[in-house]
Amino acid sequence: MTRKPVVVIVGAGSLATFLAPALRRAGFKILEIVTRDSPLSLRRARVLAKKVHARAVAARSAELNADLIWLCVPDREIGRAAGLLADRLALRTSTRRKNKPSFAFHSSGALGSRELDPLRKQGVVVASVHPLMTFVPHSSPSVAGVPFALEGDPKAVRIARRMVRDLGGESFTLPATRKAAYHTWATMTSPLLLAYLVTLEEAAIAAGVARGDARRMSLPIIRQTLANYGQLGPRHSFSGPFIRGDAQTVARHLQLLKKRPVVRGVYLALADAGLRSLPVKNRKALKLLLQA
């Protein structure tokens, strides 16, 4: 395919709300926003369709008169949605309608392209295309430089790689057997990082700082730590009592946190990780403290 594929987006959630406008800005035509046949889903689809000059339709009414179907639905819905779309394509074939889609993607980080087997059986080549980025309502992240994990049929992967490049992202391939490990990494990179940040708020409350103030006051050091990590690497970004080997200070921390066992558990797990992989002085004494 020498031209940019015409796209149908399935879903109208956070990912679709980001992806459809990004594709349109990159020069791709969005033909339909396909969603479930419920008032709320159709309302969301109409809002998104208006932004990208597309048509909002329920799955049972979708024309699918495009080159590519991109599923942006929850993992648990991918197989079912692929089956419904495959049934629509089979009906189109039986009525001899042309312009059958050649490609289909889904954007699950954990699941492989086999979830799209119902479409594969209709002659569509398929791939999983997952951006390593967080998408939440009321946020519009840039896709520039964002890595996309690709897995699936070679022809579909080639098209996905080109589309990612047009979006301004980067791409890499991985086998289906690595998807679960990849998604574990992705989950630790954002959702569980957020869980850690919430735990920081609990530690601040122990110091008499209100939760909202703790969030605001923590941001400068968090931002600088991330900047150091990106520019200098982890070993040259490490600071605090562990790199100094200050066992007495760590002991005071642990004593205080006995009253906050959840925070203490996170502290111990992260401290243990630091001892394993970062430059630490007085390692033996610190290790004994963590095991006490």
Predicted confidence pLDDT, tens digits, the chain (292 residues) = 678 999 999 999 999 999 999 999 999 999 999 999 899 999 999 999 999 999 999 998 999 999 999 999 999 999 999 999 999 998 876 655 567 899 999 999 999 999 999 999 999 999 999 999 999 988 889 999 999 999 999 999 999 999 999 999 999 999 999 999 999 999 999 999 999 999 999 999 999 999 999 999 999 999 999 999 999 999 999 999 999 999 999 999 999 999 999 999 999 999 999 999 999 999 999 999 999 8
* 120: number of Cβ within 10 Å: 19
* Final residue before a domain boundary, out of 143, 176, 209: 176
Alpha helices (runs of H) in the chain, residue ranges in sequence order: 14-25, 39-52, 75-94, 117-120, 154-167, 179-189, 191-206, 211-232, 241-244, 247-256, 261-277, 283-291
Assess whether 160 and 56 both reside in one domain: yes
Q: Are residues 158 and 17 in the same domain?
A: yes
Last residue of a domain, one of 176, 203, 236: 176
Residue 152 bridge partners (DSSP): 127
Q: Answer yes or no: do 112 and 256 share one domain.
A: no
Same domain for 66 and 166? yes
Domain for residue 184, yes or no? Answer: no
In 3D space, the residue among 172, 168, 127, 124 whose CA is nearest the CA of residue 19 turns out to be 168
Assess whether 39 and 156 both reside in one domain: yes
Rounded-to-integer distance, Cα 248 and Cα 115, Å: 54
Q: Is the domain of 167 the same as that of 211?
A: no
Task: Provide the domain count of the chain.
Answer: 2
Query: Does residue 117 lie within any of the structural domains?
Result: yes
Same domain, 197 and 67: no
- Asked whether residue 138 falls in the same domain as residue 214, the answer is no
Query: Using CA atoms in the order 152, 153, 158, 163, what is the torsion angle rounded to 10 degrees?
Result: -50
Domain shared by 171 and 196, yes or no: no
Rounded distance between C-alpha atoms, residue 124 and residue 90, angstroms: 12
Shared domain for 44 and 144, answered yes or no, is: yes
15 and 145 fall within a common domain:
yes
Domain presence at residue 113? yes
Residue after which a domain boundary falls, among 124, 143, 176: 176
Instruction: Show the domain range for 262.
Output: 191-291
d(CA 73, CA 71): 6
